[in-house]
């Protein structure tokens, strides 16, 4: 069996779905954050696969931008999570319910 | 081969017209200058930095309005990355105006807090530049990078009060929701790129993330499943940013917890940028309009109804404003749907955005001057007798809220009226009906705010609970600059309602 474009896209779509449902279903903020990163990486895999099999360069170049963006998001996101943990001693989503009407 | 590559790179470099994006470059330089000033200036002079930021923005805005109102270099630039037009120029003015108000609001609400301040103003400028570039992007790479520059900046601005749990919690919720929506948008881009770069399909192109190339491809293949799926994901990602139903869940919490200046920034600029992107993308996706228009119409109707019904029961002021903003997003979506058949309605959507800016900023300026340590707790009770304690703020609040509600002589009314005319011309009668129902419902909760501010409120606070500290009256921190900002927002709301004068020909699409 040769590995073709559709296998890469199927893998990318499954990774994206795993990440998406992880964000919706998991309770720990850090795990949710990992799931978000998984979704971005699934996108990267899709971009690379399309770029490689269709012969254009723009997809491969876009990946550099998304990696940079993901790094910036992690830097800011972890800072917010750490600051919140210092205040509340928890990063479990069900405990973060101070905002209400 | 290498000479050929070099030549094509040279052709692309020749389209780098840096002069076309001078306002964004100046904003970026101003942001860096503020950070440098913090190091250079002695400690006692740090209070001047926010004023320098506001002054710089006012000068830039004045220059653009006087010398360059229509945009100097309209057309495609930077190798197809951006496309400048009258719309992007109007939005550029919009974002600058909003950012001046946001800087002022931040100046007021940081007054008695121990916080690093300069960063807030610098990030505000960078985010404004990014939003402005987002509005003119013509390529998915540019769109994504500008969007993320703005979103990552917003994460910081939302959680800026880091001594306050509510602000941090709002920051975390915005972080998760923002990152999720960016990932969905990105996956949509991947699918569209994959579909449109397939050499086996008609109309494919190697640079298929360029909007013109993508449109050519979609025109050749209007029923391609992969592109329709990609379009749905991209629209969902944008719907998150504008807070349209069913992606509005983050709005009340984030608006409540964020500092009031950030709430204003999110409610006005971030939403407007989302609509700018939507206006561009609906043009690109127009070959798929069999799918797109029913989808957008449904979202618009549900957004109007949900926003208004959810706002009815809110006592917290910032949550209420946030949910009423959801219903405004619904009205704007009706405008976007109408633009597809009535092209001149683009300028009417922009007019609605300007009316929304002035009305919202009047309200947020009043909120910033209410005495409360953390503005996340502001509720209707805090408005008690505002008109008696400070008539100026009371009238400003009444006019701002009146304009948002769409009371006849004010700008908000003309905005809603134009949207309804557009919906009528485009024969969207169901959406028109839903919009009118929405306006009627919204009057109930908007008048709740005015009632709380103008009429005696019976409150059952125990005598023991009253603190011994002298009561702080609303508006004690009001300076000449603050009066000027409020007079501008309120005056603009009134003047644009009566007299659209110079905007008349622009509004009629000439």
A2-48 per-position pLDDT tens digit? 888 999 999 999 999 999 999 999 999 999 999 999 999 999 999 99
pLDDT classification of B79: cutoffs 50, 70, 90: confident
Question: Looking at the domain assignment, is residue A50 inside a domain?
Answer: yes
B457 at interface of A, judged by CB pairs closer than 8 A: no
CA distance B7 to chain A (A): 17
Does residue B213 register a pLDDT over 50?
A: yes
pLDDT classification of B78: cutoffs 50, 70, 90: confident
Contact flag B180-A39 (C-beta cutoff 8 Å):
yes
The chain B residue lying nearest A101, using CA atoms, is B316
Does residue B504 register a pLDDT over 70?
A: no
Higher pLDDT, B503 or B344: B344
Does residue B311 register a pLDDT over 70?
A: yes
Strands B75-77 and B82-84: antiparallel
The pLDDT value given to residue B216: 92
Helix or strand (DSSP H, E) at B76: strand B75-77
Residues belonging to chain B = 510
- Of these ranges, A2-11, B72-81, B379-388, the one predicted with the greatest mean pLDDT is A2-11
ω into residue B246 within 30 of 0, thus cis?
yes
Q: In A, which residues are within 8 Å of B316 by CB distance?
A: 101
When pLDDT is averaged across residues B279-296 and rounded to a whole number, the result is 91
Cβ-Cβ contacts under 8 Å for B306 (sequence gap 6 or more): B245, B248, B326, B327, B330
B144 at interface of A, judged by CB pairs closer than 8 A: yes
Q: In A, which residues are within 8 Å of B314 by CB distance?
A: 101
Domain count along chain A: 1
CB-count exposure of residue B58 (10 Å: 0-12, 13-18, 19+): middle
Does residue B91 register a pLDDT over 60?
A: yes
The chain B residue lying nearest A99, using CA atoms, is B253
Question: Looking at the domain assignment, is residue A25 inside a domain?
Answer: yes
CA distance A95 to chain B (A): 10
Q: Token pair for residue B82?
A: 């951006």
When pLDDT is averaged across residues B389-401 and rounded to a whole number, the result is 88
Q: Mutate which of B181, B190, B232, B312 to test chain A, going by most A C-beta atoms within 10 A?
A: B190
Q: In B, which residues are within 8 Å of A87 by CB distance?
A: 165, 168
Q: In A, which residues are within 8 Å of B204 by CB distance?
A: 54
Q: In B, which residues are within 8 Å of A12 by CB distance?
A: 190
Q: How many CB pairs under 8 A join A and B?
A: 139
Question: Looking at the domain assignment, is residue A101 inside a domain?
Answer: no
Q: State ipTM.
A: 0.96
Question: Looking at the domain assignment, is residue A48 inside a domain?
Answer: yes
Residue A99 is nearest to which of B169, B180, B313, comparing CB atoms? B169
Q: Shortest CA distance to B144 belongs to which of A62, A54, A44, A94? A: A62
pLDDT classification of B280: cutoffs 50, 70, 90: very high
Residue B190 is nearest to which of A23, A46, A69, comparing CB atoms? A46
Give percent above pLDDT 90 in chain B. Answer: 51
Q: For every residue of B132-150, which 3-state class applies, written as one string?
A: HHHHCECEHHHHHHHHHHH
Q: In A, which residues are within 8 Å of B240 by CB distance?
A: none
The chain A residue lying nearest B201, using CA atoms, is A54
In sequence order, the β-bridge partners of residue B284 are none
CA distance A1 to chain B (A): 23
Does residue B344 register a pLDDT over 60?
A: yes
The pLDDT value given to residue B481: 85
Q: Shortest CA distance to B348 belongs to which of B419, B431, B453? A: B419
CA distance A20 to chain B (A): 8
Q: Residue written as tokens 């509600």? A: B405
Alpha helices (runs of H) in B260-385, residue ranges in sequence order: 260-265, 271-284, 289-312, 317-339, 345-368
Q: In B, which residues are within 8 Å of A66 by CB distance?
A: 144, 186
The pLDDT value given to residue B7: 80
Question: Looking at the domain assignment, is residue A21 inside a domain?
Answer: yes
Q: Token pair for residue B133?
A: 């570039």
Q: In A, which residues are within 8 Å of B252 by CB distance?
A: 99, 101
Q: Token pair for residue A11?
A: 């893998």
Residue B64 · residue B21 · CB < 8 Å: no
Structural domain boundaries, residue A71: 5-93
Q: In B, which residues are within 8 Å of A16 by CB distance?
A: 183, 187
CA distance A80 to chain B (A): 6
Does residue B1 register a pLDDT over 70?
A: no
For residue B380, the 8-state DSSP code is: G
CATH number at residue A86: 1.10.287.3510
What mean pLDDT, rounded, does chain B reach? 87
Give percent above pLDDT 90 in chain A. Answer: 73
Question: Looking at the domain assignment, is residue A70 inside a domain?
Answer: yes
Residue B251 · residue B243 · CB < 8 Å: yes
Residue window 227-286, chain B: list those with CB within 8 Å of chain A. 252-253, 256-257
Residue window 357-396, chain B: list those with CB within 8 Å of chain A. 376
Residue B197 is nearest to which of A39, A40, A50, comparing CB atoms? A50
Contact flag B176-A23 (C-beta cutoff 8 Å):
yes
Measured CA to CA, the distance from residue A2 to residue B278 in angstroms comes to: 41
ω into residue B79 within 30 of 0, thus cis?
no
Q: In A, which residues are within 8 Å of B190 by CB distance?
A: 12, 43, 46-47, 50, 59
Does residue B462 register a pLDDT over 90?
A: no
Calculate the CA dihedral of residues B249, A72, A40, A30 and round it to 10 degrees.
-60
Q: Shortest CA distance to A29 belongs to which of A99, A98, A84? A: A84
Residue A80 · residue A91 · CB < 8 Å: no
Cβ-Cβ contacts under 8 Å for A85 (sequence gap 6 or more): A91
The pLDDT value given to residue B510: 45
The pLDDT value given to residue B466: 47
pLDDT classification of A51: cutoffs 50, 70, 90: very high
The pLDDT value given to residue B170: 92
CA distance A25 to chain B (A): 13
């Amino acid at each position: 069996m040769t590995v073709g474009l559709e296998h890469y896209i199927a893998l990318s779509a499954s990774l994206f779905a795993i990440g998406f449902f992880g964000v919706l279903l998991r309770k720990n903020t850090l795990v949710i954050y990992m799931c978000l990163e998984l979704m971005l990486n699934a996108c990267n895999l899709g971009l690379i696969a399309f770029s490689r099999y269709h012969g254009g360069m723009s997809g491969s170049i876009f990946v550099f931008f998304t990696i940079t963006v993901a790094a910036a998001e992690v830097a800011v996101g972890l800072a917010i999570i750490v600051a919140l943990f210092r205040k509340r001693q928890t990063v479990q989503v069900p405990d973060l319910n101070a905002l209400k009407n | 081969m290498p000479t050929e590559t070099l030549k094509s790179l040279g052709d692309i470099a020749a389209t780098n017209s840096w002069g076309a994006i001078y306002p964004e470059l100046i904003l970026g330089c101003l942001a860096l200058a503020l950070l440098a000033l913090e190091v250079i200036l002695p400690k006692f002079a740090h209070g001047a930095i926010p004023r320098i930021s506001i002054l710089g923005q006012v000068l830039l805005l004045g220059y653009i309005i006087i010398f360059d109102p229509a945009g100097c270099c309209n057309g495609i630039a930077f190798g197809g990355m951006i496309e400048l037009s009258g719309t992007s120029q109007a939005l550029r003015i919009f974002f600058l105006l909003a950012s001046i108000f946001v800087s002022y609001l931040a100046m007021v609400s940081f007054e008695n807090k121990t916080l690093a301040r300069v960063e807030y103003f610098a990030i505000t400028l960078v985010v404004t530049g990014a939003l402005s570039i987002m509005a003119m992007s013509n390529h998915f790479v540019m769109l994504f990078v500008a969007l993320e520059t703005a979103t990552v900046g917003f994460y910081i601005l939302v959680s800026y009060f880091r001594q306050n749990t509510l602000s941090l919690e709002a920051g975390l919720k915005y972080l998760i929701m923002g990152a999720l929506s960016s990932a969905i948008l990105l996956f949509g881009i991947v699918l569209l790129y994959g579909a449109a770069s397939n050499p086996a399909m008609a109309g494919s192109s190697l640079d298929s993330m360029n909007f013109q190339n993508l449109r050519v491809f979609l025109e050749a293949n209007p029923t391609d499943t992969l592109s329709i799926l990609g379009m749905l994901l991209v629209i969902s990602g944008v719907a998150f940013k504008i807070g349209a139903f069913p992606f509005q869940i983050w709005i009340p919490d984030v608006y409540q917890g964020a500092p009031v200046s950030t709430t204003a920034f999110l409610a006005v600029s971030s939403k407007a940028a989302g609509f700018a992107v939507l206006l561009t993308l609906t043009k690109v996706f127009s070959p798929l309009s069999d799918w797109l228009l029913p989808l957008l119409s449904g979202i618009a109707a549900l957004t109007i109804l949900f926003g208004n019904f959810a706002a009815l029961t809110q006592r917290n002021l910032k949550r209420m404003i946030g949910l009423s903003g959801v219903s405004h997003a619904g009205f704007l979506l009706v405008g976007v749907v109408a633009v597809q058949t009535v092209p001149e309605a683009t300028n009417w959507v922009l007019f609605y955005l300007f009316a929304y800016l002035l009305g919202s900023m009047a309200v947020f300026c009043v909120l910033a001057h209410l005495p409360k340590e953390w503005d996340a707790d502001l509720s209707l009770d805090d408005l008690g007798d505002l008109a008696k304690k400070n008539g100026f703020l009371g009238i400003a609040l009444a006019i701002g809220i009146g304009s948002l509600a769409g009371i006849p002589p004010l700008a908000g009314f003309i905005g809603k009226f134009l949207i309804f005319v557009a919906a009528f011309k485009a024969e969207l009668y169901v959406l028109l009906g839903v919009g009118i129902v929405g306006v009627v419902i919204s009057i109930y909760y908007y008048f709740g705010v005015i009632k709380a501010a103008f009429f005696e409120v019976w409150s059952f606070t125990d005598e023991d609970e009253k603190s011994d500290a002298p009561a702080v009256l609303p508006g004690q921190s009001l300076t000449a600059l603050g009066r000027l900002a409020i007079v501008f927002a309120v005056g603009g709301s009134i003047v644009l309602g009566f007299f659209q004068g110079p905007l008349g020909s622009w509004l009629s699409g000439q």
